[in-house]
Structure 1
Amino acid sequence: MAFYSSGDVKTKYFDPKSFSDGSRAVFELDGHHLAYLPNMRLLEIGVFGQAGGQYNELIGANGIVREITLFDGATILTQLNNYGLYRGFQLQNTSNSNAQSIVDFKSAGGELGFQQLSDDGLLQHLQRSRGTAATRADSRGAYIELREVLPMLNSVTHLPTDLFRNLRLEITFNTDAAEQVLQDITHTITGQLLPILACDVLDNKSIVDKMNKGLGKTIAWLEVEHDQVSYPQSSNNGAAGDQNVEETKNFKLDGFKNKSVERMVQIKEEQDITKYLDGNDPRGFGRYSSVALFNEKVQVRLNGRNIFPNSGLTGNMERLAYVVDTYGDCVAYPGSSQVDIDTGAVAGTDTANGRDKIGNLSYNAFYLGERVFDLQVQHSRTGLEDTTALRPSTDALNVHYYGEVKKALVVANNGYNIVYL
């Protein structure tokens, strides 16, 4: 855009208007006859207190974020709730080279990227030195490009304050060490870094007025909305009676009813997040992973018909293929989406916990592409005799669904409405 070189666009850095350490930050974007550009960035997302502490190995410092919402007064323009699990999916939804070069650094501590060791041919997850320090000034944080998590910002050219008179960004946090923010739940978290919002601001009324004339009457985007169900514990809780016993549950997802839904991803989480712990350390990616189930099958019934042939998605590679076909490249290292694999193929050393990352990125994805009147998921798993703490094939799970829902901003008579399409 030409106005970037005109000197009329300036980058401004906003401190929170209100900030409750470990709980909430509110940024107010005011002004007259100006426009905020949609490439907003959140900086300094993290904590301090532990010298040499390491953030979660999947989402890094993103683990402290619970919800991000952009308001105009009391109106929600766009939001993402249950942030951590979906952000974990987003960050692995890329190529391995991009994970190594960009994603792991943006998240301030992720270990998604991997390489093949030349001496023994095994795979090694790459460790990053970024992390926490004893003081706020020395601790590292992540930065979040808000267009990645608030899709409305990908569809608007600008946010004029003459239309959005009370813009406000709110972020809720949880920095409790038990939430597996760090790779050791006993590590000290003294407090939170002070988040900063970076915005490019166009402060030239004549240019803003011209841009407002070009603002479409209807601006559409795909909002990411969430629903979840509870998959109950098996009847024998991993005892001998569960071995090779298939259980099938049917779930009805009413959170997407009467909405036009495009892509959807399913993420599986242990209900008891302490099950992820090995002593004080989260195994692999901990509570932000999506756990693999033995002999998992998924069939989706949309408006009275199955969307997959036969028994639905059955094999590990078939399920992974649907994820890639639906969402694009994923960092799918060997064993990432299955229950078990030969130890030697995973990691050359124990330093990056390669063995613990088996079955950590087991997602299911599908495309709906129409208005939902009735949405049901048939979900099967086969039990294993397993008395270890982490046994998702028989444990109680929270199964999360994140779907792209068609929404629009309808501009009329110097005002607007947010509607579902």
Structure 2
Amino acid sequence: MRILFVHQNFPGQFLHLAPALAARGHDVLALTDEKNERASPVRTVRYAEPPELQLSSALARSYAEHAERGLLAARGCRALRDRHNYTPDVIFGHSGWGETLFLREIWPEAKLLVYAELMYRTHGQDVGFDPEISPGSDGGRFMTVTRSAHLIQGLVQADAALAPTTYQADSFPAELRSKITTIHDGIDTDHVCPNPNASLTLPNGNVLRAGDEVISFVNRSLEPYRGFHIFMRALPQVLAARPDAQVVLVGGDGVSYGSKPKDAPSWKARMLAELDSKLDLSRVHFLGRVPYADYLSLLQLARVHCYLTYPFVLSWSLTEAMSTGAYIVASDTEPVREVVRDGQNGRMVPFFDVPALSAALIRGLEGDPDAPRLKATARQTILDGYDLKRHSLPRLIEWVESFGPKV
């Protein structure tokens, strides 16, 4: 088979799948944005980065930006077809940025698959969930509708779609849900595993080791969508109760989801200003974004891993923390409930309940008698249903290959 992957930040969710298909003898090619600097595990071609559009209406800009990226991706594919006589049997693209919108017009006979990560909805998900940060409004809901247009169009055009969790699959309209198969991207449990000898050197030279009183909090960006403001507000009580505790936060100061605060340069700055004099900052360590090896060591050595999220896309960091056998304290929100069960493989607290979060973190630090069982069950949860080599990857390969030419 000739298989074309399309992802502006390739390899993204196709990190393991693309090279695995190539290893099985398929001709695998990836199309990505010309400014994508990530290393690729397969042969790659690039399309021109979309220009910044100058439109007065934010509603129009949302769809126009996705359509423009789709146009440039289609032009790249047309060049592959016309100049290099390239025709794929299967196209598998992420639908989130509009890249697959026009590919049916380039190769009508190819099977078009899309990675359906999440459908934006005006009710029941992130919109209006946190009134403090983003109160629900007609304008916000209107914007959500326009942000959904290209996702619906992409799924309508596709032959089939893939989502990593049931929650994310169910975010799509019922009339399109039948197109979506749920298979998690997979966790390499052989590599992401417990390590009693894990250690991490902090910027100040101090070395943290497994067994120390450490709380880990990890996200791509430190922002409200991932409960950063709630977590920070829980820390004064935790640090007061546990004088030896160290808190390590991994994540950038920018915004991956939502918007920047109006009264500060970043959410980190906003929360530090709010909690001024209430935090012992000698024990709160902001590492920014770190190499994967350091991130993994932190998960392995932390006595407690805290994960909070709006009703939104589930983070890899939670499933990877569970794979390391971490003691999990997580928000009782719908995407988390799919993998964490309170009292069975972690502890769950209501997202907005700061005192409950503080108490749960303290309980984990001081030595929850159920910790060994919770940690072992957390890892077993990943081994049983999310293991890359034994579960996810074989299923992903079988799913893609099922759309190839019948012989």
Query: Which is helix-richer, 1 or 2?
Result: 2
Same fold (TM over 0.5): no
Q: Which has the higher contact order (CA 8 A, sep 6+)?
A: 1
TM-score in terms of structure 1 length: 0.25
Query: Which is strand-richer, 1 or 2?
Result: 1
TM-score in terms of structure 2 length: 0.26
